[in-house]
Copies of this chain bind each other. A is one copy, B any other.
C-alpha cells in the first residue's frame, strides 16, 4: 500500500512540509490549496520539487461549495474549477477533492448535485483528470458517505468517484458495512484520521482535534478493512487537522505520522516484526551529578535499597530491593530519569521491531565482555532499553545484601511516570503502542494547582509494565511555580504502611501530607477509622475504584524534578491515584518555596 500525507497535517511552509514528508518516507502527498497559495514556487516548480524528493502528488484539495447551485453560481463554479484544473495540470496531479457543499447557495436536490458533478466530471475528463466527491460530516445537505455515494452513482460519470475520509464517516457513527457494496474502482481516494471521542460540534472536532491513526478512539482497522475489501488500491493518505501538530516540528510530526500508518498496516495483517512479550520493568536509570548522586543514594538507602553492584566500566551503581532496581549514572547533569529498561522475551527482536517503527536507535558503547543492550530514544529523549537478565553481569557485586534482603518491603517497580514535552504527548502514546506493543489507556484529565494535566498510561496485558505519560493541558508559561516537568518511579509494596513506617524510621525524605486531606478523605470515602489513623500518621494517600484500593506515598523532590513513590494495589485497582496528585503537587511546591526562602 502506498502511503501519503496531506500537507495540512504538518507545520511550516510548503517547502518545510514536503521536505519533512519525504524524509519520513512517504510515497506521496495531498497538496492542500492554502499551502500552495502562500508558496513562491510555481505549481511546475512544486511538481519538480516533489519529483526530486520522490513524492507523488496524489490529490489537490479542497474544492468547496460546488454542487447543487443555481445556474449563474454554477457557471462561476465551473470557471473556478477550470482555474484549479490549470493549477493541477502544472502540478501534474489528476485527482481533485470536491467536498459536499456548505454554501447558502446550495439547494437540497440530489439530481441537480449529480448533474452538476457530471458536468464537472466531463470537464475534468477532457483534461485527463477526475473528481473525488466527499461528504463532509457537516455538509449542508450531504453529510454521510452513503449519501455521497448515491450522488456519485447518479452522476454516472467515469471521472466522478468517491473520496472516503475516516473522520467524516466514523464521527457520524455511520454503518460501515455499506462500504463493501461500493466498487473499489469508484473509490478514488482514501483519507485517514483518528480522533478522541469528544462531544462537540463536529466541525470544531474535525478542525482542531484529529489525530494520527492509533492515537485516538476510532477503529481505523475496521474502517480500512472495509475499504480494502472493495478492491481499493490507491494510497492510504493521512489528513489530520490538529492544533498541536500545526505548530510542531514537521520533521518529527511526519515520523509520528508514518509510524501511525506502519501500526495500522500491522493491524491490517501486513507482515511486521512482532512485538516480543515484555515481562516487567528491568531497571530505571537516573542520571545524577556530584550533588544529586549522594542525595539519591541516601534516599534509596533509607528506603531499604542496597547498592549491590558497580558497573565494570562506567560510573554507574546498581541499587536493588526485591525486583526493584535503580541505576545511578554519575554522568553529570541534574537528577532525571535518563533510561527505562523493560525485560523482553527477545531483546534483539524488540530492538529490530523498534527500528522498523522508526524509533531512533541510540549508539551504545560497551566492552566485548559486557551485555550489548539495545536502546532507542522515546519522544521525550528517555532511553528505552530492551534486556534480559544478562545485563546484571556487567555489574561487580558489592557484597551488600539487597536482592535477597527484605529492605523496607519493596518488591518491584509498579510504574514509571514521565512528563512529556508538550508537542509530543500523542506521539509518545503512539510510540509506546507501536514500538513496544503496549496498550494506551484512555487519556484522563485532572485539575492540578497550577493548571490542568492530561495523563495517559501505556501498559502490557499482564500489567507488569506501566508507563504513565503526563503533560500540561496547555504549554506552561512563565507562571510555573510547581516542579518543572516532574518524573517519578513508583515501587510496589505488599504493605505500604509497614514500608512507610520502616522508611520513616530510617530517615527517608518522605513527603508530609496535610491534615485537611485526611478530613476530606474521611468525608468522601470513609475508610475504617484504624486505617484512616494509620494513613494520617504515615502520610499515606488512599484511593478507591470499582476494582479495588490504592495506598501510596511519595518522597520529596530529589534534585530538581525527580521523586519516588511507593504503591500498594489491593484488588484490581487500575489507576494511578490521580485524585491525590494535586495534594502531592501542592506539597512539593511548598517545600520548594520553603527551601528557596530558607
Contact = CB atoms under 8 A, between A and B. Distances in A.
A87 interface: yes
A86 B168 CA distance: 53
Contacts of A422: 477
Contact of A516 (B39, B208, B479, B582): B39
Interface stretch (A109-117, A280-288, A455-463, A522-530): A522-530
A517 B38 contact: yes
A11 B40 CA distance: 45
Contact of A12 (B84, B243, B481, B526): B481
Given A12-B449, A12-B450, A43-B516, A479 B38 contact: no
A586 interface: yes
A533 interface: no
Q: How many copies does the complex hold?
A: 2
Interface residues of A, number: 71
A182 B258 CA distance: 61
A362 B570 CA distance: 61
Interface stretch (A75-83, A213-221, A227-235, A436-444): A75-83
A80 B523 CA distance: 5
A13 B449 contact: yes
A514 B13 CA distance: 13
A380 interface: no
Interface string A454-488: 00000000000000000011111111110000000
A30 interface: no
Nearest to A43: B516
B519 A83 contact: yes
Interface stretch (A157-165, A196-204, A323-331): A196-204
Interface string A55-98: 00000000000000000000010011001101100000000000
Contact of A478 (B244, B249, B585): B249
A33 interface: yes
A76 B422 CA distance: 42
A472 to B, nearest CB: 7
A517 B37 contact: yes
A495 to B, nearest CB: 26
A204 B205 CA distance: 13
A281 B478 CA distance: 32
A590 interface: yes
A42 B519 CA distance: 10
Contact of A247 (B16, B243, B476, B512): B476
A535 B475 CA distance: 40
Contact of A450 (B11, B244, B473, B477): B11
A51 interface: no
A514 B40 contact: yes
Contact of A38 (B79, B200, B449, B477): B449
A584 to B, nearest CB: 9
Given A37-B520, A514-B40, A523-B84, A451 B590 contact: no
A447 interface: yes
A532 to B, nearest CB: 12
A102 interface: no
B87 A519 contact: yes
B523 A423 contact: no
Contacts of A16: 481
Contact of A590 (B40, B200, B476, B479): B40
A534 interface: no
- Sort A-B residue pairs by CB-CB distance and give the 4 closest, nearest first: A247-B451, A200-B200, A199-B201, A83-B523
29 contacts: A11-B450, A11-B451, A12-B450, A13-B586, A13-B589, A33-B520, A34-B447, A35-B449, A37-B517, A37-B582, A38-B582, A39-B516, A40-B516, A40-B590, A42-B516, A87-B519, A198-B204, A243-B452, A243-B473, A244-B474, A246-B452, A247-B450, A247-B452, A247-B476, A247-B477, A249-B478, A421-B477, A474-B475, A475-B477
Interface of A: 11-13, 16, 33-43, 76, 79-80, 83-84, 86-87, 198-201, 204, 208, 243-244, 246-250, 421-423, 447, 449-452, 472-481, 512, 514-517, 519-520, 522-524, 526, 582-583, 585-587, 589-590
